[in-house]
Chain A
């Protein structure tokens, strides 16, 4: 008597992606992606708790860097608003650095650590993974920005004059949304450019600080400032926030009215997130079809 051949529990079915293969109802897809966001944010949040050295290196020391620019203005006997511009710029750099180091360069590093292929093989959206990274890093950035703003305001006597709180908060959140959308776009590009990810992150830092008018009104840069406003969310956001946080100051020379800049930020957020979605789809396809994108050391 011959034993009946054992039946595999797995059924071969051609599918486009792990998400397609999973055949999950919409609710389960949503729950899985929410769990992905939390799962990716978790190591960042827990990592912060386990290694308190970041409090010194990523909060106190960057505050001292910001202070250096405050003292440059003091040495030049600049009007007090400029000290406020530096403090505001110093707070916003926390988000730019988070986007560049903990998001844009991250997919490349995930590849180096061997996690990227697991992401591509899992039935989850890559945007959830990137959003998890963003949320995990955002906690640290928010804390750093708050410290720079509060301590800077107290220590250097910065007086904020805000008339439109709602617009200021809206501009801040729109800036973050557009910035993180840009971070997702850069994450895919840096992954495709391979080893250049690290260098591109370094390369963009100072020029972006300069053309975004980190320490002075961007309008003073003329055409260069206008070009920055049309491309870099940090430039638009800072210009709008500067106008909204120092109302009535003759030194606050905006490139455009803050309401218009808020609209530009909405357009940027939509554009960058849509572009990121498209590019993430492209790299997912490349990873599956060519099988080279997740190879370490390439």
Chain B
């Protein structure tokens, strides 16, 4: 008979002698369960139609606001290329808002509202895996919002689009690395949320809004001061947006290069090439991911030491 207590024999998660394969299977189970729970929390408060409207209304109105600003200034004669630039950047930003918010808000919800974070933490699963699962659907909802905004942009706002011209490889690589960097940023913010009080509900949106300024989501970096352009160039999201834009719309204006931009000044080229973009995206994503893992571990240890997992605040 095994010397392990009953609860330990019930699951391999707490077995210190488990194999690597059992470990992975347990992590997958934890991720799947957390993702299922996340989906139910996100989606079962309304019928499918109101929920779908909820999922798309924010990115759609965000894009409409920018397009309307463009139309006012241009007097209705806006450059098609710049309109496409704005719509795509605004649509893709929906991933960032959903992705960044998903993980941080999961910490706040599980700690402050459902008061389950302490139990999740002592369960034999890595808290990081659980949070990844919980935040997964917010990222998915963000993706859905982005897709609908893009479709609306093409159908209703006259964004030129040709399926035959999509660079699928660039799109796949760009999206994979971009999503990884969004998850890393989300983890960074989850680490911050572990340390802060209940009223940090708006922090993710504030962070996303601040990053919005430096990544050339809706205007080229060239209009920013040089120092801010440097920040933009070392942010993976800048390169993600550039690569995805180029994959979907090959003739689109570059956010990174162009007259007056720091990139063009330094390299002498009008815009970065696809291979160059992917390499820089890979490098910056790796840096952000490593940094966020380190910060998350530090935050986790500090939260454990200071008893922050069962902290409930109110104001």
User: Which residues in A have some Cβ–Cβ distance to B below 8 Å?
Assistant: 43-44, 47, 50-51, 53-54, 57-58, 60-62, 64-65, 67-69, 71-78, 82, 97, 101-102, 109, 112-113, 115, 136, 195-196, 199, 202-203, 205-207, 209-210, 214-216, 220-221
Residue on A with the closest CB to B45? A195
Known: A57-B203, A101-B201. A64 touches B73 (CB 8 A): no
1/0 per residue, CB under 8 A from A, across B47-85: the answer is 000000010011111101110111011100000000000
Would you call A51 and B65 a contact (CB within 8 A)? no
Chain A residues contacting B54 (CB-CB under 8 Å) are 199, 202-203
Known: A61-B209, A76-B74. A115 touches B314 (CB 8 A): yes
Would you call A216 and B219 a contact (CB within 8 A)? no
Query: 8 Å CB contacts to A: which residues of B190-221?
Result: 192, 196-197, 199-203, 206-207, 209-210, 212-213, 217-220
- Bound-state CA distance A247–B23 (Å) is 68
**A38 vs chain B, min Cβ distance (A):** 14
Known: A47-B315, A202-B54. A74 touches B223 (CB 8 A): yes
Would you call B72 and A65 a contact (CB within 8 A)? no
Would you call A61 and B207 a contact (CB within 8 A)? yes
Asked whether B156 is an interface residue with its Cβ less than 8 Å from the other chain, the reply is: no
- Bound-state CA distance A44–B313 (Å) is 11
Q: Pick the contact of B210: A64, A202, A205, A215 (CB < 8 A).
A: A64
Q: Pick the contact of B45: A101, A199, A220 (CB < 8 A).
A: A199
- Bound-state CA distance A54–B196 (Å) is 9
Known: A61-B209, A61-B210, A72-B218. A199 touches B46 (CB 8 A): yes
Q: Pick the contact of B220: A50, A75, A78, A206 (CB < 8 A).
A: A75
Known contacts A112-B113, A215-B69, A216-B68; 14 further A-B pairs (Cβ under 8 A): A47-B197, A57-B200, A61-B209, A61-B210, A64-B210, A65-B209, A72-B66, A72-B219, A199-B54, A206-B61, A209-B61, A209-B65, A216-B72, A220-B68
- Bound-state CA distance A146–B91 (Å) is 31
Q: Pick the contact of A82: B73, B200, B220 (CB < 8 A).
A: B73
- Bound-state CA distance A203–B145 (Å) is 13
Known: A68-B213, A71-B223, A199-B54. A57 touches B206 (CB 8 A): yes
- Bound-state CA distance A215–B67 (Å) is 12
Asked whether B224 is an interface residue with its Cβ less than 8 Å from the other chain, the reply is: yes
**A29 vs chain B, min Cβ distance (A):** 26
Would you call B202 and A97 a contact (CB within 8 A)? yes
Residue on B with the closest CB to A208? B61
**B144 vs chain A, min Cβ distance (A):** 15
- A-B pairs with the 9 shortest C-beta distances? A65-B209, A206-B61, A47-B315, A75-B219, A61-B206, A64-B210, A68-B213, A61-B210, A76-B73
Chain A residues contacting B45 (CB-CB under 8 Å) are 195-196, 199
Chain A residues contacting B58 (CB-CB under 8 Å) are 202-203, 205-206
**B154 vs chain A, min Cβ distance (A):** 20
In this complex, which of A74, A76, A102 has the most chain B Cβ atoms within 10 angstroms of its Cβ?
A76
- Bound-state CA distance A60–B210 (Å) is 9
- Bound-state CA distance A137–B212 (Å) is 26
- Bound-state CA distance A17–B12 (Å) is 56
Known: A68-B209, A206-B62, A210-B65. A136 touches B315 (CB 8 A): yes
- Bound-state CA distance A221–B68 (Å) is 9
**A48 vs chain B, min Cβ distance (A):** 8
Chain A residues contacting B46 (CB-CB under 8 Å) are 196, 199
Would you call A64 and B57 a contact (CB within 8 A)? no
Residue on B with the closest CB to A202? B58
Contacts A/B (CB < 8 Å), 8 sampled:
A53-B200, A65-B209, A68-B212, A68-B213, A71-B219, A202-B54, A205-B58, A216-B68
Known: A51-B196, A68-B212, A206-B62. A57 touches B57 (CB 8 A): no
Known: A43-B314, A76-B73. A207 touches B213 (CB 8 A): no
- Bound-state CA distance A203–B45 (Å) is 13
- Bound-state CA distance A218–B179 (Å) is 36
Would you call A62 and B200 a contact (CB within 8 A)? no
**A36 vs chain B, min Cβ distance (A):** 16
- Bound-state CA distance A106–B210 (Å) is 26
Chain B residues contacting A112 (CB-CB under 8 Å) are 113
Residue on B with the closest CB to A214? B65
Would you call A47 and B57 a contact (CB within 8 A)? no
**B88 vs chain A, min Cβ distance (A):** 15
Chain A residues contacting B61 (CB-CB under 8 Å) are 206-207, 209-210
1/0 per residue, CB under 8 A from A, across B11-26: the answer is 0000000000000000
